[in-house]
Amino acid sequence: MVMDGMAVLKEFVSFCQQNQLLPSGSSVVAACSGGPDSLALVDILWRLRETWQLRICVAHFEHGIRGEDSRQDAAFVAAFCREHGLEFVQEAAAVPDWAASHGQSLETAARNLRYAFLHRQRERLGPGAVIAIAHHGDDQAETVLQHLLRGSGLDGLSGMRPQAGRIIRPLLFTTKAVLEEYCRQRGLTPRHDATNDLPDCTRNRLRLELLPRLAREYNPGVRSALCRLAELAAADCDYLDGQAAHLLREMARPESGGWSLDRGAFRDLPLAMARRVLRQLVQQLQGSCQGWEARHFEQLREFLLTGESGRRLSLPGTFQAELVYGTVHFHKPLQPTAAAAAMPLQIPGQTRLEFFRCVVQAEIRSELPRDVGREAMYCDYDRLPGPVRVRSRRAGDRLRLAGGTKKLKDFFIDRKLPREARDRVPVFCAGEEILWLGGWRRTTVAAVRPDTKRYLFLQLKNI
């Protein structure tokens, strides 16, 4: 049964509310090619603009692939926006030339350039703005089937989410047939992209050949079944990711220039959870898993399980893993460099320490800081024996501890810290005395007392 226009609008509202996609007052970049899916999306947003107090910017990207037809698409969308009083922006690019020069397929290049354009428009609208894409249930079925044929895991079978970062997909609840009928009932005359009718890429062949055959010969409701699979897999993934995040917090911690992981705790994890923990760790290291394939994660997992202390493994991107007894350190390769000279600390204020790949925030507080982790320290500001500076270790350095003094060299040996990593530990000094080994140990220099009135608080953050 095909829904009428009002039913589609009600379902749209319900889906957005259920998934918290478009709060009142949202700014939204609506990607519109001029086809029935994206034209229906823009029309629905236009109908809701006053009720939801939406700021709508319609964005059209012209790929330079279909010649005059493509330019007419842009003109059509521009005219629609003028008629409806909507903000319109467009950009054009010679995608075939760009794809050839960057060694990408036409489909991949078009997608990369289009999304780059959409994100620029989103940033222009300000914080909180989102990009609305007209992907619908049929697109979801194609995505899941494509991932299945590639041998995807549970994450790939989750397909497209209603929201992924700043991208929303508020039409996933419906189908292309429903959207075409919506356009007909609303008197809209969308453009038709003839390239979608050509079985010249995997996605088109799935839509034009494989899915119709599966529907004819195996299951008439195959598209609905694939969408249902995506919903079930997404729910399982969300739960497993939550568990993995909890485990990662327990067994790993950020350190200067990277992260460290408790190898023993990792070895006890079930296979499925170990893979998820590694995926989340990589996301923490480099912001995404771009450049990583399943084989890379398996190489890393095997390395953590069987590698000997002192071994290193180069990872995709700019990081490497290094086994040091019971700990795995993830950091960028440490190049031989001269030790960092002493640098004065901005107090109060922020000092960027490029050599140590971190920033230190210094504050003077009147109350004792609480919940201080290894990445922070405090001391009595008025009892500092000299100006606070930060530098690399030096021969002969000693730490003043509660039980006496200890050579810094011996301290690092006891902690099993590799030699090449020791120069990257920031040494905070007050005058000639070591105050703190950033992220490792605070000394008794300028220790707080009951009569302390001003506290120096230092906190490290990776860059």
pLDDT in tens, 235-275: 999 999 999 999 999 999 988 678 889 999 999 999 999 99
Q: Tokens representing 255?
A: 């350190």
Strand, coil or helix: 219: coil
Q: What is the pTM of this model?
A: 0.71
In the chain, where the domains are located: 5-230, 256-331, 343-462
**Confidence label for 461 from pLDDT (cuts 50, 70 and 90):** confident
Strand, coil or helix: 430: strand
Which value, to the nearest 10 degrees, does the dihedral of the CA atoms of residues 206, 207, 212, 218 take?
50
Of the candidates 276, 264, 244, 246, the residue with the CA atom closest to the CA atom of residue 304 = 264
Question: Is pLDDT at 2 greater than 60 in this prediction?
Answer: no
- Evaluated on CA atoms 69, 73, 75, 79, the torsion sign reads positive
The pLDDT assigned to 458 comes to 94
Q: Tens digit of pLDDT for each residue in 267-317?
A: 999 999 999 999 999 999 988 888 898 899 999 999 999 887 667 888 988
**Intrachain domains 5-230 and 343-462 with the same fold:** no
Give the residue-averaged pLDDT of 89-111. 86
Strand, coil or helix: 252: strand
Structural fold of domain 5-230:
Rossmann fold (3.40.50)
Structural fold of domain 343-462:
Phenylalanyl-tRNA Synthetase; Chain B, domain 3 (3.50.40)
Mean pLDDT (the chain) is: 90
Q: Tokens representing 159?
A: 């397909």
Q: Tens digit of pLDDT for each residue in 12-65?
A: 999 999 999 999 999 999 999 999 999 999 999 999 999 999 999 999 998 877
The pLDDT assigned to 66 comes to 75
Q: Which CATH class is domain 256-331?
A: alpha beta
Q: Tens digit of pLDDT for each residue in 161-209?
A: 999 999 999 999 999 999 999 999 999 999 987 777 777 678 889 999 9
